[in-house]
């Protein structure tokens, strides 16, 4: 990959934007010091990313602008790297390119043909094949690579003090997740996880109603996440799909499960579980969640059903009306169980589908990431919060293997130790030293 040194002032006498602002003069010419290709600022709107797009139109495809923080106007937004531009990463690129506060996007993708085809759709993006190479030139990083690689990439970004949004699952082990949280604290960089459903307007409305007590006492929650595929090579169906269900349940209940009980099977290929049933036990509030996960189901299903003592609710992500509140319940006679003489009484009332704004959850999530960086605040779906989810996922794996209930450590028990560092010779340490060179 080639790198372009940009000088935003006339001639070679460079000075920072801060300095230029102080002197109340705007840069008039941009000199791109590679083969002395000049580009007038009027053609580029004074923006490095536009300049790069211009160069690309002239046949220069592998360019990454070499501009540091000190060269940007104070009003400029953040330069975001999206690592992994496959199915989900390309969606990040789409929403980030329309997110206020984002000044430019660098596509970091091993498959150059894929990156180039994405660049055709988003011409102001730049391409780079390695995160370490791009880190000095970006302000924030979104990681949307396969789960096995999250830990290493996120650690490299955090060590360079870059705020990171990591796709779910944060990592494929609890140790790795704790290491990331420890590194985020040490470096002061923000760590957020792509628990997209927490930004889903229907889920947020459901939580509002639940916490206002509209459904009464919660008897149970059932969640189903089923479809045919996609089989992933590096994680089983639980690590692929259950982060969503656990994050939704934790978010709705404002709690983390204290124990899990799981059963899973490797049906189509063997070796990797492709369907599972999981029971999540919450202590406060005392609620049981049941989750059905499958890569082997003919119909795509994304539902969460909540059964309460006063009302019931169904959130169906595939439906036109994603949230429905059923004014239905069952009662005994003065608390006594039903009998032939005194059968249970059923109450059937209205079914209400509240209006849900059709905002795209991923766009809301990514905007929250950018806003949190700019406003220097802890994001929702933080790294700390994700620890509870990763701990539950590990416990589920153990429960499946050992066929029994497994206790999940509490958030206090999950707190990373202050001295947590990767062992010497660890692949994370190697990634970091590469970056320092
Ligand atoms: N939040 C959600 O709703 C949601 C939905 C789908 C996927 N995801 C998550 O997004 C992540 C990616 O999933 P996907 O379905 O897009 O996978 P994918 O296989 O379609 O894309 C991954 C891309 O990453 C690239 N890649 C791998 N390692 C890389 C590296 N070191 N540097 C640069 N590029 C690299 C691959 O070439 C590939 O193009 C996963 O963690 C997945 O769980 C989240």
Whether 2-145 and 198-352 share one fold: the answer is no
Looking up tokens 């055709």 gives: 120
Token pair listed for 209: 């109603």
- 185: alpha, beta or left, given left = phi > 0 and alpha = psi -120 to 50? alpha
Q: Is 434 helix (H, G, I), strand (E, B) or coil?
A: helix
Ligand 1 centroid distance, CA of 412 (Å): 31
Least confident among 73-87, 90-104, 418-432 = 418-432
Q: What is the C-alpha to C-alpha distance for residues 58 and 43, in angstroms, rounded to an integer?
A: 13
Instruction: Dump pLDDT digits (tens) for 191-204.
Output: 999 999 999 999 99
Instruction: Characterize 320-338 residue by residue with b for buried, 16 or more Cβ atoms within 10 angstroms of its Cβ, and e for exposed.
Output: eebbbbbebbeeeeeeeee
Looking at residues 308-337, what average pLDDT do you find? 93
Q: Are 281 and 288 in contact (CB under 8 A)?
A: yes
Check residue 24 and give its pLDDT. Answer: 37
Nearest alpha-carbon partner for 260 in 245, 276, 279, 233: 279
Q: How many residues belong to the chain?
A: 437
For domain 198-352, give the CATH number: 3.30.360.10
- Report the pLDDT value the prediction gives residue 208, as an integer from 0 to 100: 98
Q: Which residue has the tokens 């409305």?
A: 205
Which tokens go with 169? 């699952």
User: What 3-state class would DSSP assign to 272?
Assistant: coil
Look at 26-40, 45-59, 368-382 and tell me which has the smallest mean pLDDT. Answer: 26-40
Would you call 359 helix, strand, or coil by DSSP?
coil
**Higher pLDDT, residue 97 or 55:** 97
Task: Report pLDDT for 50.
Answer: 54
pLDDT tens-place string over residues 384-433: 999 999 999 999 999 999 999 999 999 999 988 766 665 544 444 444 33
**Residues 119/94, Cβ–Cβ less than 8 Å:** no
Across 4-8, 39-43, 380-384, which has the greatest mean pLDDT? 380-384
Band of residue 265 on the pLDDT scale cut at 50, 70, 90: very high
In short, whether 146's Cβ falls inside 6 Å of ligand 1 is yes
Could you tell me how far CA 413 lies from the centroid of its own chain? 24
Gap from CA of 91 to ligand 1 centroid (Å)? 11
| pLDDT of amino acid 331 | 85
**pLDDT score of 16 more than 60:** no
- Helices 112-121, 87-96: axis angle to 10 degrees equals 30
Which residue has tokens 């990454």?
Answer: 64
Residues 6 or more apart whose Cβ sits within 8 Å of residue 51: 6, 30, 32, 39, 44, 65
Instruction: Please indicate whether residue 196, judged by its CB atom, sits closer than 6 Å to ligand 1.
Output: yes
- Closest-CA residue, ligand 1 atom 43, reads 168
For residues 54 and 48, what is the distance between their CA atoms, to the nearest angstrom?
10
Q: Which residues contact 370 (CB under 8 A, 6 or more apart)?
A: 77, 78, 80, 96, 99, 100, 101, 102, 140
> Does residue 114's CB lie within 6 angstroms of at least one atom of ligand 1?
yes
For ligand 1, mutation pick of 82, 88, 364 (most atoms within 8 Å of CB): 88
Q: Which three-class secondary structure state does DSSP give residue 289?
A: strand
pLDDT for 382 beyond 80: yes
Pull the structure tokens for residue 243. 């982060």
What pLDDT is stored for residue 11 in this prediction? 28
Task: Please work out whether the CB of residue 83 comes within 6 Å of at least one atom of ligand 1.
Answer: yes
Q: Where do runs of H (alpha helix) occur along 312-424?
A: 361-374, 383-402, 411-414
* 56 — pLDDT class (breaks 50, 70, 90): low
* Distance from Cα 167 to the centre of ligand 1, integer Å: 8
Which DSSP letter does residue 151 get?
H
Report whether residue 152 contacts ligand 1, using a CB cutoff of 6 Å.
Answer: no
Kindly report the average pLDDT of the chain as a whole number: 84
The arrangement of secondary structure in 2-145, i.e. its CATH architecture, is 3-Layer(aba) Sandwich (3.40)
- The predicted structure's pLDDT at residue 421: 67
Whether the CB-CB separation of 55 and 39 falls below 8 Å is answered with: yes
Predicted local confidence at residue 427, as pLDDT:
46
Q: Which residue has the tokens 């003069």?
A: 25
Q: Does the pLDDT value for residue 116 go beyond 50?
A: yes
- The whole-number pLDDT of residue 139 equals 97
pLDDT at 23 over 90: no
Quick one: pLDDT at residue 8?
Answer: 34
- Secondary structure class of 39 (helix, strand, coil): strand
Break the chain down into helix, strand, coil percent, rounded to 5.
Answer: 35, 25, 35
Domain extent listing, the chain: 2-145, 198-352
Residue nearest (by alpha carbon) to ligand 1 atom 6: 88
DSSP 75-119: T--EEEEEE--SHHHHHHHHHHTTSTTEEEEEEE-S-HHHHHHHH
């Amino acid at each position: 990959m080639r790198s372009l040194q940009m000088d935003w002032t006339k001639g070679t006498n460079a000075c920072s934007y801060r300095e230029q602002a102080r002197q109340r003069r705007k840069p008039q010419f941009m000199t791109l010091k590679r083969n002395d290709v000049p580009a007038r600022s009027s053609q580029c709107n004074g923006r490095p990313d536009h300049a790069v797009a211009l160069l690309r139109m002239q046949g220069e495809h592998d360019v990454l602008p070499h501009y540091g923080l000190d060269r940007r106007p104070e009003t400029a937004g953040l330069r975001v790297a999206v690592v992994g531009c496959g199915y989900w990463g390309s969606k990040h690129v789409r929403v980030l390119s329309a997110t206020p506060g984002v000044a430019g996007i660098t596509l970091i993708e091993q498959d150059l043909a894929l990156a180039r085809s994405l660049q055709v759709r988003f011409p102001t993006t730049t391409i780079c094949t390695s995160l370490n190479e791009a880190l000095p030139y970006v302000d924030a990083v979104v990681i949307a690579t396969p789960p096995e690689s999250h830990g290493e990439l996120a650690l490299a970004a955090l060590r360079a003090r870059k705020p990171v949004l990591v796709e779910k699952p944060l990592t494929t082990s609890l140790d790795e997740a704790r290491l990331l949280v420890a590194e985020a604290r040490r470096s002061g960089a923000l760590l957020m996880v792509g628990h997209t459903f927490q930004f889903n307007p229907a889920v947020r409305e459901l939580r509002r109603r639940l916490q206002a007590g509209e459904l009464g006492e919660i008897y149970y929650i059932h969640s189903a996440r089923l479809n045919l595929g996609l089989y992933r090579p590096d994680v089983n169906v639980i690590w692929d799909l259950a982060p969503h269900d656990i994050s939704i349940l934790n978010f709705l209940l404002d709690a983390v499960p204290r124990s899990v009980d799981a059963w899973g099977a490797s049906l189509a290929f063997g070796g990797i579980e492709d369907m599972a049933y999981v029971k999540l036990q919450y202590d406060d509030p005392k609620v049981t969640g049941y989750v059905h996960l499958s890569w082997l189901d003919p119909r795509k299903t994304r539902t969460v059903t909540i059964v309460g003592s006063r009302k019931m609710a169904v959130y169906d992500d595939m439906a036109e009306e994603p949230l429905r509140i059923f004014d239905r319940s069952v009662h005994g006679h003065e608390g006594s169980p039903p009998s032939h003489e005194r059968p249970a009484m059923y109450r059937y009332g209205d079914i209400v589908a509240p209006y849900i704004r059709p905002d795209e959850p991923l766009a809301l999530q990514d905007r929250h990431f950018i806003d949190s960086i700019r406003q220097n605040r802890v994001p929702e779906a933080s790294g700390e919060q994700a620890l509870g989810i990763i701990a539950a996922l590990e416990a589920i794996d153990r429960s499946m293997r050992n066929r029994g209930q497994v206790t999940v450590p509490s958030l206090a028990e999950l707190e990373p130790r202050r001295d947590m560092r990767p062992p010497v010779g660890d692949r994370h340490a190697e990634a970091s030293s590469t970056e320092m060179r």
